Amino acid sequence: MTQLSSLTFRKTLSDFADKTASNTFDQVASILANELKVNNILTKLDLEGNQISERGGEALAEALRLNNTLTQLDLRGNQIFDRGCEALAEALKVNHSLTQLDLSWNRISERGGNALAEALKVNNSLTQLCLEGNDIRDKGGEALGEALKVNCTLTKLDLAKNGMQERGGDAVAEALKVNNSLSQLDLRWNGISERGGEALAEALKVNNSLTQLDLRWNGISERGGEALAEALKVNYSLTQLCLEGNDIRDKGGEALGEALKVNKTLTKLDLAKNDMRDRGGDALAEALKVNNTLTQLDLRWNRISERGGKALAVAVKLNNSLIQLDLEGNECGIEHSEKH
């Protein structure tokens, strides 16, 4: 008989209308948790979107204290709240097998964020932690920042949509100055503003591990864009930077253009929806004439006119690295340019 190494358990649409479904799925979670205590085969468990509550989270946490084979646990889109999160955090302090944990959209607040931060200070197996769509705010961000200063195993951290403001951004930035293991950081849809952008820029000047940074929709503005551009002149690890929806405008675009003339590692740059006009477009076009590492440039839904479009078209012909240039939603007569 074949033994499962991966198990996915999902609700049907009719379950969402069933008021007893939540209790039912908690019971199922408890049964699975009991099996995990003795199972030595299963490595991946996907329980996304099952209305698992605090009780189900606690049951799974208890199992993780004993299980030494599970490496991936997906609890995205449940309702474990802080109590379930705290139980899982305690389990992480003794578990040595789990490498990927997804707790996105679980109504976890600052309290749960603090508990996970304490766990990360002693856990030495987790490499990926996803907390998108919770509500850990600045206090949770600050706690995780402190944890990142001592954690040496986490490589991917997703904190998108967590109501984090400047203080949280500053704390994570301070951690990046000493952390040398994190390679992917997602801060989309928070509110770190230009101060947070400047703090992260300072961190990028000394950090040598981060390769992907997502700062979409954070209100970074021109000053934050200029600060990040200065960082790109000396950073040698970042390969992907996403700045969509940050209002960096022409000043930010011009500064990033100057940075691209000397940066030799960035391969993907997303500047969509930044209210950039021809000055910013021209600056990026000039950069493309000499840059030979960038492969993807996203300028969708800015305000680049036909003049800026022509400058970019000329630059693309001279450039030998760019594969994709997206100009959808501008007024330049070009939507998409792709080299094969």
CATH number of domain containing 289: 3.80.10.10
Residue 286 counted as domain residue: yes
Residue 58 counted as domain residue: no
Weakly modelled stretches of the chain, pLDDT under 50: 1-2, 12-14, 16-17
Within 10 A of 340 (CB to CB), how many other CB atoms are there? 3
Residue 260 counted as domain residue: yes
Residue 216 counted as domain residue: yes
Residue 148 counted as domain residue: no
DSSP output for 55-71: HHHHHHHHHHHH-SS--
Residue 1 counted as domain residue: no
pLDDT at 3: 61
Terminal Cα-to-Cα distance of the chain (whole angstroms)? 48
What domain count does the chain have?
Answer: 1
Q: Are 329 and 300 in contact (CB under 8 A)?
A: yes
Closest by CA to 299, choosing from 232, 239, 253, 236, is: 253
Q: Using CA atoms, how far apart are residues 267 and 316, in angstroms rounded to an integer?
A: 15
**284 Cβ neighbours under 8 A, 6+ residues apart:** 253, 256, 257, 260, 271, 297, 299, 312, 315
- 65-117 residue pLDDT tens: 999 999 999 999 999 999 999 999 999 999 999 999 999 999 999 999 999 99
Residue 303 counted as domain residue: yes
Q: Using CA atoms, how far apart are residues 113 and 196, in angstroms rounded to an integer?
A: 19
Tell me which residue range forms the domain holding 250: 192-340
DSSP for residue 269: E
> Is the model's pTM score more than 0.75?
yes
Residue 240 counted as domain residue: yes
